[in-house]
Amino acid sequence: MPQLFLGLLLLIGLVLVLRWFANANPAALAGNVRRVALGSAAIAGGGLVLAILARNPLLFLQFAPFALPFLFWWWRRRRATQGLGAGWGSPGTQSAAGDGVSTVRTAWLEMTLDHASGAMNGHVLQGTQAGRALDSLAEAALVALRVECATDTDSVRVLEAYLDRRFGPDWRQRPGGDASRDGGSAGASDHGPRTDMSVEEALAVLGLKAGATADDIRAAHRKLMLLNHPDRGGSDWLAAKINRARQVLLGE
């Protein structure tokens, strides 16, 4: 029985690690090498402890009072760092160190970017798909949405960034993509985001709350640029939005 319990725990740990690797984008992985190493060491250490307990189950009764508080602390910290329950939070619900979720709102879309995993999600604010989550829409429906919101440059840019992350650049070669459109929004592709950004919007973009220090702002900016820099496959529009938020908050 102890051997079965040990094998089950190790299997669960392996599945969680593989799932994290599958969902994280390359930029996030590059910025989290230290976390991966520490996590692997923790799993290996946990496996060693469980192997010892499997040989002498009575040690579990002595070990449990020390292990349970640690596991409870780890579980709460994991919930906090992953922003569980944050939903479509306002700037006041985000971490002052930029470790939570950034929010970008356009006329058609409200998007969020998870700082830890680099995952981008969002939902539609108007049009035929109003109220739908982007993750629930197929590629064809998203491309149709891009055509529908073509008059709003900001919405097109952020939707294209989402399409690139979810489907890669191949979607542009399919019907409705850049290659099949006669101009469309392509003529506006050199334009960045609007420059009339408020302090509240800038805080939301960087995932900060009111009262964030200059160091907090710079740290959040660096972290988001690591995830979204065009040289790393990120969106020019999002990078410009992040840079503009930094300028607004630092008065540059």
168 and 201 both lie in a single domain: yes
Reported as a single tens digit per residue, the pLDDT across 35-52 is 666 666 666 666 666 666
Of 81, 104, 126, the position where a domain reaches its end is: 81
52 forms bridges with which residues in the sheet?
A: none
| Nearest-10 crossing angle of helices 199-206, 236-250 | 120
68 and 147 both lie in a single domain: no
134 and 17 both lie in a single domain: no
Asked if the structure places residue 136 within a domain, the reply is: yes
Question: According to DSSP H, which parts of the chain are helical?
Answer: 2-23, 26-31, 33-55, 58-81, 139-148, 153-167, 199-206, 214-228, 236-250
Q: What is the pLDDT of residue 227?
A: 76
Asked if the structure places residue 127 within a domain, the reply is: yes
Reported as a single tens digit per residue, the pLDDT across 53-111 is 666 666 666 666 666 666 666 666 555 444 333 333 333 333 333 457 888 888 999 98
Residue 125 has pLDDT above 90, yes or no: yes
Can you tell me the distance from the alpha carbon of 200 to that of 12, in angstroms, rounded to the nearest whole number?
41
Asked if the structure places residue 77 within a domain, the reply is: yes
Reported as a single tens digit per residue, the pLDDT across 206-218 is 888 888 888 988 9
Residues contacting residue 54 through CB under 8 Å, at least 6 positions apart: 2, 3, 5, 6
115 and 235 both lie in a single domain: yes
154 and 67 both lie in a single domain: no
157 and 192 both lie in a single domain: yes
Range with lowest mean pLDDT among 23-27, 213-217, 240-244 = 23-27
CATH number at residue 101: 1.10.287.110
Can you tell me the distance from the alpha carbon of 6 to that of 54, in angstroms, rounded to the nearest whole number?
7
With vertex at residue 231, the alpha carbon angle to CA 170 and CA 244, rounded to the nearest 5 degrees, is: 105
121 and 26 both lie in a single domain: no
Three-state DSSP class for 168?
A: coil
Can you tell me the distance from the alpha carbon of 157 to that of 238, in angstroms, rounded to the nearest whole number?
8
241 and 207 both lie in a single domain: yes
Which has more pLDDT, 29 or 160?
Answer: 160
| Nearest-10 crossing angle of helices 236-250, 153-167 | 120
With vertex at residue 196, the alpha carbon angle to CA 101 and CA 166, rounded to the nearest 5 degrees, is: 40
Query: Rg of the chain's alpha carbons, rounded to an integer?
Result: 22
Asked if the structure places residue 57 within a domain, the reply is: yes
With vertex at residue 112, the alpha carbon angle to CA 230 and CA 147, rounded to the nearest 5 degrees, is: 70
Q: What is the pLDDT of residue 183?
A: 42
63 and 19 both lie in a single domain: yes
Asked if residues 145 and 160 have their Cβ atoms less than 8 Å apart, the reply is no
* Domain count along the chain: 2
Domain range for 36: 2-81
Can you tell me the distance from the alpha carbon of 16 to that of 237, in angstroms, rounded to the nearest whole number?
33
152 and 202 both lie in a single domain: yes
Highest mean pLDDT among 71-85, 128-142, 160-174: 128-142
Q: What is the pLDDT of residue 91?
A: 34
62 and 152 both lie in a single domain: no
Can you tell me the distance from the alpha carbon of 160 to that of 209, in angstroms, rounded to the nearest whole number?
27
Of 81, 107, 124, the position where a domain reaches its end is: 81
Asked if the structure places residue 170 within a domain, the reply is: yes
Asked if the structure places residue 86 within a domain, the reply is: no
Of 46, 61, 81, the position where a domain reaches its end is: 81
133 and 236 both lie in a single domain: yes
Can you tell me the distance from the alpha carbon of 176 to that of 184, in angstroms, rounded to the nearest whole number?
10
What pTM was computed for the model? 0.45
124 forms bridges with which residues in the sheet?
A: 109
Distances (CA, A) of 179 to 165, 174, 233: 18, 7, 19
Asked if the structure places residue 153 within a domain, the reply is: yes
